[in-house]
Amino acid sequence: MAMDVLVPQMGESVLEGTILEWKVKVGDKVKLNQPLVELMTDKVNVEIPAEAEGVIVEILAREGEVVPVGKKVAVIDDGKGEVKPSTPKSEEPKDEVKPPEPTAAKSVPVAPVPATKPAPRATGPIERAKMSPKVKMMIREYNLDLSRIIPTGLEGRVTVEDIERAVADRSSSAGFTPGPIPAPPVMPSTLSVAAKDAPTEAKPAVPLVKVDIPRFEPLPEVQRVTREPLVGVRKMISDHMVKSVQTSPHVTTFEDLDLTELVNYRDEIKGNFKRTYGANITFMPFIIKAVCLGLHEFPKINASMTDSEIIFKHFYNIGIAVARDEGLIVPVIKDADKKTLVELAVELAELGDKARTNRLTPDDVSDGTFTLTNAGMFGATASTPIINQPQVAILGIHAIVKKPWVVDGEIKVRDISTFGLSFDHRLIDGHEAVQFLHRVHEYLSDPRKMLLSLR
Using DSSP bridges, classify how beta strands 370-374 and 393-397 pair: parallel, antiparallel or unpaired. parallel
CB of 48 to another protein, least distance (A): 9
CB of 110 to another protein, least distance (A): 6
Instruction: State how far the Cα of 392 lies from the Cα of 380, in Å rounded to an integer.
Output: 23
Whether 393 contacts 370, CB under 8 Å: yes
**Coil/strand/helix, residue 18:** strand
CB of 134 to another protein, least distance (A): 9
Whether 360 contacts 331, CB under 8 Å: yes
CB of 14 to another protein, least distance (A): 7
Q: Which is nearer to another protein, 356 or 425 (CB)?
A: 425
Spot the catalytic one: 240, 250, 296, 425: 425
Q: Which is nearer to another protein, 11 or 299 (CB)?
A: 11
Instruction: State how far the Cα of 273 lies from the Cα of 290, in Å rounded to an integer.
Output: 20
Instruction: State how far the Cα of 118 lies from the Cα of 50, in Å rounded to an integer.
Output: 24
CB of 41 to another protein, least distance (A): 6
Q: Which is nearer to another protein, 71 or 339 (CB)?
A: 71
What is the longest distance spanned by two Cα atoms in the chain? 96
CB of 386 to another protein, least distance (A): 16
Instruction: State how far the Cα of 371 lies from the Cα of 373, in Å rounded to an integer.
Output: 7
CB of 274 to another protein, least distance (A): 39
* Count of CB atoms situated within 10 Å of the CB of 10: 18
Interface residues with another protein (CB under 8 A)? 8-14, 20, 33, 35, 38, 40-47, 49, 104, 107-110, 115, 154-155, 251, 253-254, 425, 429-431, 433-434
Instruction: Tell me the β-bridge partners of 416.
Output: 258, 401
Instruction: State how far the Cα of 278 lies from the Cα of 224, in Å rounded to an integer.
Output: 49
Cis peptide before 390 (omega within 30 of 0): yes
Active site residue 425: yes
Give the list of residues 6+ apart from residue 20 with CB closer than 8 angstroms, or none.
37, 38, 39, 40, 45, 63
Q: Which is nearer to another protein, 33 or 192 (CB)?
A: 33
Instruction: Tell me the β-bridge partners of 77.
Output: 2, 55
- 427: part of which helix (H) or strand (E)? none
The set of long-range contacts for 439-442, using a CB threshold of 8 Å and a minimum separation of 24, is 439/290, 439/293, 439/294, 439/297, 439/298, 440/257, 440/287, 440/290, 440/291, 440/293, 440/294, 440/395, 441/255, 441/257, 441/258
Burial of 248 (0-12, 13-18, 19+ CB in 10 A): buried
In the chain, the amino acid numbered 401 is: V
Q: Which is nearer to another protein, 12 or 363 (CB)?
A: 12
Whole-angstrom distance between the N-terminal and C-terminal Cα of the chain?
A: 42
Q: Which is nearer to another protein, 49 or 88 (CB)?
A: 49
Give the list of residues 6+ apart from residue 64 with CB closer than 8 angstroms, or none.
18, 19
Q: Which is nearer to another protein, 28 or 38 (CB)?
A: 38
**Coil/strand/helix, residue 77:** strand
Q: Which is nearer to another protein, 253 or 381 (CB)?
A: 253
CB of 156 to another protein, least distance (A): 12
Q: Tell me the catalytic residues.
A: 425
